[in-house]
């Protein structure tokens, strides 16, 4: 893969909040995504994360009802009816492998991004969700006490328009939707995220 192709893939991997419900996602496809995730780096290589695949319609509906989406969009309920994800991967910390701690929280972010990017290669999309009650999800899926839901990745075929924009320093980076339901994602400019040598002043020895 050329670098430009990789960069285009990264830019196409957006937080998808509208899906084509007619395109089901199989257990085999979800398993392939987890197979990619298990190769991700892990703190001290402990690999305490495990994955609950959710693809049966009844369980999908349960998990969907327990998640909150796009909290920054006040007055808009997403996903819209008829555009919910057909599958989820619930990323859990197994306390029988290692006690939960800050280092392993980083692991969760790494594997979720790996899943999201891998889904794009499959022609799918995803949304990493953190707004849910871990206890409620655990109860809904019948998870044992030693498995703690950390993040949930929605997976499905995207069916919405998402536009990346660049903002000047000091402008709002809040995402928003227009009257046509197009979703806009402002990004800070490259120059504004790089730390210049004038900002970084090492202490004199």
Do residue 183 and residue 86 come from a single domain? no
Global confidence as pTM? 0.94
Do residue 156 and residue 100 come from a single domain? yes
Do residue 155 and residue 75 come from a single domain? yes
- Per-residue pLDDT tens over the stretch 72-95: 998 899 999 999 999 999 999 999
Domain count of the fold of the chain: 2
Do residue 139 and residue 176 come from a single domain? no
Do residue 121 and residue 188 come from a single domain? no
In which domain, by residue range, is 154 found?
3-160
Do residue 69 and residue 151 come from a single domain? yes
Q: Residue 189 belongs to a domain with what CATH number?
A: 2.20.180.10
Q: Quote the pLDDT of residue 103.
A: 83
DSSP string spanning the chain? --HHHHHHHHHH--B---B-TTS---HHHHHHHHHHHTTS--GGG---EEEEEE-SHHHHHHHHHHB---TTSTT--SSPTT---SEEEEEEEETTTS---HHHHHHHHHHHHHHHHHHHHTT-EEEEE--B-HHHHHHHHT--TTEEEEEEEEEE-B-S-EEEEEE-TTS----EE-TT--EEEEEE-HHHHSPPTTT--PPP-
Q: How confident is the model at residue 205 (pLDDT cuts 50, 70, 90)?
A: low
Residue 76 CA to residue 138 CA, distance in Å, equals 27
In terms of C-beta density within 10 A (0-12 exposed, 13-18 middle, 19 or more buried), how is residue 156 classed?
buried
- Per-residue pLDDT tens over the stretch 165-190: 999 999 999 999 999 999 999 999 99
Do residue 115 and residue 179 come from a single domain? no
Do residue 167 and residue 145 come from a single domain? no
Q: How confident is the model at residue 199 (pLDDT cuts 50, 70, 90)?
A: confident
Sign of CA dihedral 142, 143, 144, 145: negative
Do residue 89 and residue 156 come from a single domain? yes
Residues 6 or more apart whose CB falls under 8 angstroms from that of 45 comprise none
Do residue 111 and residue 193 come from a single domain? no
- Per-residue pLDDT tens over the stretch 107-162: 999 999 999 999 999 999 999 999 999 999 999 999 999 999 999 999 999 999 99
Do residue 95 and residue 187 come from a single domain? no
Q: How confident is the model at residue 204 (pLDDT cuts 50, 70, 90)?
A: low
Q: Quote the pLDDT of residue 77.
A: 93
Which residues, in sequence order, are bridge partners of residue 94? 147
């Amino acid at each position: 893969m050329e670098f430009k192709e990789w960069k285009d893939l990264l830019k196409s991997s957006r937080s998808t909040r509208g899906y084509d419900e007619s395109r089901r996602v199989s257990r085999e496809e979800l398993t392939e995504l987890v197979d990619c995730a298990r190769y991700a780096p892990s703190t001290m290589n402990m690999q305490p994360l495990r994955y609950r695949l959710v693809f049966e319609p009844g369980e999908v509906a349960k998990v969907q009802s327990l998640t909150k989406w796009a909290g920054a969009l006040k007055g808009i309920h997403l996903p819209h009816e008829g555009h919910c994800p057909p599958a989820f991967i619930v990323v859990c910390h197994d306390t029988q492998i290692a006690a939960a701690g800050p280092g392993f929280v980083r692991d969760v972010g790494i594997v979720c991004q790996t899943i999201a990017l891998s889904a794009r290669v499959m022609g799918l999309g995803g949304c990493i969700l953190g707004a849910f009650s871990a206890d409620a999800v655990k109860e809904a899926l019948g998870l044992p006490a030693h498995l703690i839901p950390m993040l949930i990745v929605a997976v499905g075929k995207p069916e919405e328009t998402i536009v990346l924009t660049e903002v000047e320093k000091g402008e709002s980076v809040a995402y928003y939707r227009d009257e046509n339901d197009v979703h806009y994602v402002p990004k800070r400019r490259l120059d504004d995220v790089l730390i210049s040598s004038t900002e970084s002043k090492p202490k004199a020895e």
